[in-house]
Amino acid sequence: MKRWPAMTAGGGRRVTRNDYGAVARIRQASFILTPMPFEFRTIIEPFRIKSVEPIRFSSPDEREQALRRTGYNLFGLRSEDVLIDLLTDSGTGAMSAEQWAGMMRGDESYAGSRSFFRFERAVRDLTGFRHVIPTHQGRAAERILFGEAVRQGGVVPNNTHFDTTRANVEHDGATALDLVIAEGLQPSFDHPFKGNMDVGRLDETLAAERDRVPLVMVTVTNNSGGGQPVSMENLRAVRAVCDRYDVPLFLDACRFAENAWFIKQREPGFDARSPEEIAREMFSLADGATFSAKKDGLANIGGFLAMNDDDLAARCRNNLILTEGFPTYGGLAGYDLEAIAVGLREVLDEDYLRYRIRSVEYLWEKVAAAGVPCVSPPGGHAVYVDAKTLLPQIPPSQYPAHALAIELFRAGGIRTVEIGSVMFGRVHDDGTEDPAAMELVRLAIPRRVYTQSHIDYVAEVIASIVPRAAELRGYAITSQSKYLRHFTAQFEQL
């Protein structure tokens, strides 16, 4: 295993120049890094910009009004109120000229379209799964899979369920059990594969409750735990446990390419292998996958459910027809299927992945250098600020990560998302609440959208909040829904 250095947020490393390359040199010295393949060290965006979309500058007054109007819920904002939108990396990427060209080839036949077969071939080549079922996005694949496989009283282990995954499991009356390794729950603890599943606890769970477990899931990368990767070694170990108890293993594969890149960088024996080969091996260890093409599909919409089990696939297809559409389009247009087929190839390009992971590291370094505690090391698609540590005066019951997310918008028009007790707090029938494991603010970087100066601006806004962090106050929820409350809850400032 590569030596993994002790590294704490801010850890004394100074970022001295504002180009990717200067920071890269610091990373090289400290060993963690995205390696520099070329004579020159600045990692540039591996594309030119052909089409631009203006963004609107807003005044602090306008932003304050917008916050009031939305009940202090950032999901309620209009996008034109937002200057830099880091709410999500999902469906927000820029498509390539090849993808747009593919869209013109879209075959919109209701049944048996050429676009479906191109899509199916792209997914099969990558995953090896026999059955490829298109869906309009990831959660539709989850709903169909769990609807067919999960029963009342069931238990679904995962490294960490994402919000929609958890909600879909719970909606079917089952328990969503998070079994990430202990290191994965300590924001400042450095570990190369913090998304790994705790294989011992998985084994114990299956030993005790095998009959209640319809399938095991592993989320790559582990979004709710900081966008952290899962190692091949861990996937193999999970596979072995699943084999021992004869339980199917599914990947929640939204960010499979970013995970493959981390394996290439960090896991012994993989540095000479291509991201594509690594991704294939990851999928070969599973019996199926749910996928949101809005992330590593480089598309604005789409997803799939794929598997080898003939009987389960037949049931899922029937469910699909009822709710999403015929199995050769699954709620998507033919042109969407084309965009995904091209995207799945482009996302595994090494120049793209190097730039992608490096640009997230770059923001992480600037934020950490400003003294802001972050989940460490940086994730694949986002920087996660540890609001519990930054705002110790706000208890989890007053949602410190929400308070910080609101402040980022107020100060600089930056929209982020809370991944803390608003999203994952457990509300009991008597109204009391258990807090989430961590209080994080996620700055998710859309793919191929923002340039280095946008990211520099974000870092500057965050740094401006640090000196007055102790003055920030918490929030109370004034109304909420039963499932996925973070999307619509209303808040008041305390």
CB nearer to ligand F0G: pick between 99 and 137 = 137
Q: Give the Cα separation of 240 and 251 in Å (integer).
A: 15
Contact between 334 and ligand F0G by CB under 6 A: the answer reads no
Nearer to ligand F0G, 10 or 303 (CB): 303
Among 158, 223, 319, 421, binds ligand F0G (CB under 6 A): 223
Do the beta carbons of residue 458 and residue 18 sit within 8 Å?
no
Q: How far is the CB of 25 from ligand F0G (least distance, A)?
A: 31
Give percent helix, percent strand, percent coil of the chain, each to the nearest 5.
45, 15, 40
CA distance 211 to 199: 18
Q: What's the maximum distance between 2 C-alpha atoms anywhere in the chain?
A: 63
Asked whether position 194 contacts ligand F0G by CB under 6 A, the answer is: no
Asked whether position 343 contacts ligand F0G by CB under 6 A, the answer is no
Residue number, 21 or 91, with CB nearest to ligand F0G:
91
CB of 261 to ligand F0G, least distance (A): 17
Helix 199-209 / helix 232-245 crossing angle, nearest 10 deg: 10
Return d(Cα 426, Cα 424) in angstroms, integer.
6
Between residues 370 and 489, which has the closer beta carbon with respect to ligand F0G? 489
For residue 157, give Cα distances in angstroms to 170, 198, 205, 442: 12, 10, 8, 24
Tokens of 443: 């700055």
Q: Which of 143, 294, 317, 447 binds ligand F0G (CB under 6 A)?
A: 294
Q: Please tell me whether residue 447 binds ligand F0G under the rule CB under 6 A.
A: no
CB of 252 to ligand F0G, least distance (A): 5
Interface of this chain with ligand F0G, residues 130 to 189, rule: CB under 6 A? 137-139, 162, 164-165
The amino acid present at 200, given as its one-letter code, is G
Please tell me the distance from the alpha carbon of residue 135 to that of residue 316, in angstroms, as a whole number: 11
Q: How far is the CB of 443 from ligand F0G (least distance, A)?
A: 12
Q: Does the protein bind ligand F0G through residue 73 (CB under 6 A)?
A: no
Report how many residues bind ligand F0G under the rule CB under 6 A: 15
Of 45, 93, 49, nearest to 299 (Cα)?
93
Residue nearest to ligand F0G (CB): 138
Q: Rule CB under 6 A: is residue 300 a binding residue for ligand F0G?
A: no
Q: Is 359 in the site for ligand F0G (CB under 6 A)?
A: no
For residues 441 and 87, give the distance between their C-alpha atoms in angstroms, rounded to a whole number. 10
297 in Cβ contact with 316 (< 8 Å): no
| Distance of closest approach, residue 466 Cβ to ligand F0G, in angstroms | 25
Q: Which is nearer to ligand F0G, 139 or 448 (CB)?
A: 139
Question: Which C-beta is closer to ligand F0G: that of 58 or that of 165?
Answer: 165
Query: Least distance (Å) from ligand F0G to the CB of residue 299?
Result: 10
Work out how close the CB of 139 gets to ligand F0G at its nearest, in angstroms, rounded to a whole number: 3
Nearest to ligand F0G of 312, 445 (CB atom)? 445
CB of 393 to ligand F0G, least distance (A): 28
Which residue among 88, 99, 168, 231 contacts ligand F0G (CB under 6 A)? 88
- The Cα–Cα gap between 446 and 443 comes to 10
* Contact pick of 219, 265, 300, 398 for ligand F0G (by CB under 6 A): 219
Dihedral angle, C-alpha 136, 141, 144, 150, nearest 10 °: -160
Shortest Cβ distance from residue 87 to ligand F0G (Å)?
7
Residue (302 or 377) nearer to ligand F0G, CB: 302
Kindly report the backbone phi and psi dihedral angles of residue 217, in degrees, each rounded to the nearest multiple of 5, phi listed first.
-120, 150
Binding to ligand F0G by CB under 6 A, coded x per residue (else -) over 394-413, reads: --------------------
- What 164-170 contacts at long range (C-beta under 8 Å, 24+ apart), as own/partner pairs, is 164/138, 164/139, 164/484, 165/139, 165/217, 165/219, 165/252, 165/290, 166/424, 167/483, 167/484, 168/139, 168/142, 168/143, 170/483
Between 107 and 252, name the residue whose CB sits nearer to ligand F0G: 252
Query: Residue from 252, 276, 287, 336 that binds ligand F0G (CB under 6 A)?
Result: 252
* Omega within 30 of 0 (cis) for the link into 8: no
Structure tokens belonging to residue 192? 């190369």
- Of the candidates 92, 10, 95, 113, the residue with the CA atom closest to the CA atom of residue 47: 95
Would you count residue 303 as binding ligand F0G (CB under 6 A)? yes
Cα–Cα distance measured from residue 158 to residue 176, given in angstroms and rounded to the nearest whole number: 7
Closest separation in Å from C-beta 376 to ligand F0G: 20
Judged by the rule CB under 6 A, the positions of this chain that interact with ligand F0G are 88, 90, 137-139, 162, 164-165, 219, 223, 252, 254, 292, 294, 303
